[in-house]
Amino acid sequence: MPARHPDASRGRLVKVVYKNTRPGLQDIMRCYYVAHSVPGRLRLRPLRVCMADSAITDALSTAFPGADIRIAARTGSVLITQAVSAAQARSLAPVRARNPVPGKIRSFFYPRAFVFAVAVLRSVPYILKAIGTLLRLRLNLEVLDGAVLLVCLLQRDFRSLSSITFFFALGEFLADWTRKKSRASLTESLSLKIDKVWIRKDGIDIQIPFANIQTGDHVIVRAGSALPIDGTVLEGDGMINQASMTGEPLPVHRKAGSSVYAGTVLEEGELVVAATRVGGNTRVKAILRAIEESESVKASVQARYERIADAIVPYNFLLSGIVYAATGDPTRAGSVLLVDYSCAIRLATPLNIFTAMREAAGCGVLIKGGKFMEAVAQADVFVFDKTGTLTKASPVVVDVIPFGGRKRTSVLRLAACLEEHFPHPVGLAVVRASDAEDLKHREEHTSVEFIVAHGIASNWHGQRVLIGSEHFILEDESIPVTPAQQKTIKEEAQKGRSLLYLAIGGELAGIILIEDELRDNAPAIMQALRNDGVKRLIMLTGDGEHTAAAIAARAGVDEYRAHMLPGEKSDFINSLKKQGYKVAMIGDGVNDSPALSAAHVGIAMNEGADMAKEIADVVLVSGDIAGLLLARRISRAALRRISVGFGTSLFWNSIFLTGGLLGLLTPGVSAFLHNATTAAIAVSSVRPLLPEDTDMMK
């Protein structure tokens, strides 16, 4: 039987039991169910449209004074934040389809006439819905259900009518239960279950409600506690388990200056954290919102199977009519109507997709909908940004070459002495390299001048010292270069390294070689993708030709394009699409956003810009490009399971249909076997897709 989810577009009337509903909420709670609730956040989803938005807002404002209430125009869902306590959230029992089994057991002790009367009453909504659908000139599953019940009523076959309405209710209950179980397990690891927190204010530690935390508060986190906010460590030292956020199994060290995120757990130590994002603005809440909204993004396989489901319905009626015309037996005709091939399609397909999303999220890969899951599985061209994607976006000093008889250590020491005054990525790399070699330096230079986009100038022992780019040192300042020095510079530039020039007293004193480190597993991941059927691996970068060529060779990509502007990246993606390729784009910066949007599936690194993560269809929360392989494996496993479920449904329902045609199965037995098969396929859909010991590199 078809899956009937609480959906406003279907307008289903659901009988539900609420507890502790307070005045002002009763009307709303007849039309909504609680989709998600934690302290400080409550989301309601519509069962049906029953009142204007203004009336809903007024009633909820009375019930939750001071709360932020937002109604989504597209879905009709209501989000209540900021002023929802744990008690208020618990006071609204989540809506669920009622389990019909206890009532069926009790019915054996009721008079038969009473049981049949209840069955008639339960069938009326289905029949009315079928009539309404027909009046809209549509022939779908709702019409099929209503027709079956109407045939039983006309034949006065109340026994079959009772059985069919029971199995309809059982199917609804199982569909609701499996979907809620899947959604709950997906969000369980990310939800914060915190009622009170400790903060430090004016040197005093006080405990406040979780919902009262504000940006800037100094939150105290002790060993064994989950972090309630995103923030920066002010004091303390600790080991944090970030598995819920990144998928990393081992805890990571965090100290003053480190960033930490809500939902992670402090295993050792104690931290004082300055809150930068609280409540609905934390990174974990952003992931939860993406999960909640992703159900509306269907895979094309799901949409295709749903179209097939509705397309089959007319043939059910045609075959039933032929059977009745040939046999004159309404019982056989009714048995044919009860067995349709579409129920498992409608129920199992979204469950499989949601299960795959849940499993991927648990492994550090956030997929925002079934459509994108299918695109990941089918992509045959992977296009990578360089910085922050194939590389770590963390420059390091790989060598120092002195000139003019100077010592390597003296060049590095002086460069660090200048760069520490104006911290930027390259400057910090120089300072870190100096610290790693324990090169102590005294302040022997005068005041320093930072020249934007060029370098630094100062005076040292009566000599003018300069450090910066080739353009600044060799062109603007006209520092001479010998043929031997020029040869060395050219050789190092061809290796794809960035060069930082140091000049002292009008002479070139040395060059510092900087590299953006390649991710350790990048070559292995490229080969694994190639083995997985990817036709082309391409790197796009705004860097120069030498740097691009060097990184491409080390990473193991097939092709590269240098000097690429953001618009040119998206144009390149569109050209690949026109050639018939299924394109996946992986990037992390604002400049990658147009290309991420243009690709069939955009994949963002978790450390990247917020805009890139918003636009992307998939986010590698773990920050590891190995997640690409895992996403493909999970997505393909889900698509295979959908196909197997469809084949299983086709096989067994064909047998049941044959039994009905031969008069071996009554409508009641047909309903039982058909719904039992659908339920089994649905429950099977929430099983894990991959073994627990899955190796992403296999």
What residues are labeled active site?
A: 385
* Long-range contacts formed by 53-59: CB under 8 A, 24+ apart: 56/28, 59/24, 59/25, 59/27, 59/28
In our burial notation (b when 16+ CB lie closer than 10 A, e otherwise), range 619-641 reads: bbbbbbbbbbbbbbbbbbbbbeb
Choose among 348, 335, 356: nearest CA to 309. 348
Give, as one character, the DSSP assignment of residue 473.
I
Helix (H) or strand (E) holding 266: strand 265-277
Q: CA-to-CA distance for 41 and 285, rounded, in angstroms?
A: 10
Return all residues near 609 (Cβ < 8 A) that are at least 6 apart: 588, 589, 590, 593
Q: How many CB atoms sit inside 10 A of residue 90's CB?
A: 12
Residue carrying the six token digits 């059927």? 533
One-letter identity of residue 208: I
Q: CA-to-CA distance for 117 and 114, rounded, in angstroms?
A: 5
Q: CA-to-CA distance for 613 and 134, rounded, in angstroms?
A: 44
Angle at alpha carbon of residue 605, lines to 601 and 609, rounded to 5°: 105
Q: CA-to-CA distance for 408 and 491, rounded, in angstroms?
A: 18
Q: CA-to-CA distance for 124 and 473, rounded, in angstroms?
A: 86
Backbone phi, then psi, for 420, in 5-degree steps?
A: -65, -15
Q: Tell me the three state secondary structure of residue 340.
A: coil
One-letter identity of residue 188: E
Half-sphere exposure for 637 (CA within 13 Å, toward CB):
20
In our burial notation (b when 16+ CB lie closer than 10 A, e otherwise), range 558-573 reads: eebbbebebeebbebb
As to burial, measured by CB atoms within 10 angstroms (0-12 exposed, 13-18 middle, 19+ buried), residue 589 is buried
One-letter identity of residue 544: G
Return all residues near 231 (Cβ < 8 A) that are at least 6 apart: 219, 259, 260, 273, 274, 275, 276, 277
First to last CA, the chain: 39
Q: CA-to-CA distance for 680 and 673, rounded, in angstroms?
A: 11
Give, as one character, the DSSP assignment of residue 95.
P
Angle at alpha carbon of residue 43, lines to 611 and 245, rounded to 5°: 45
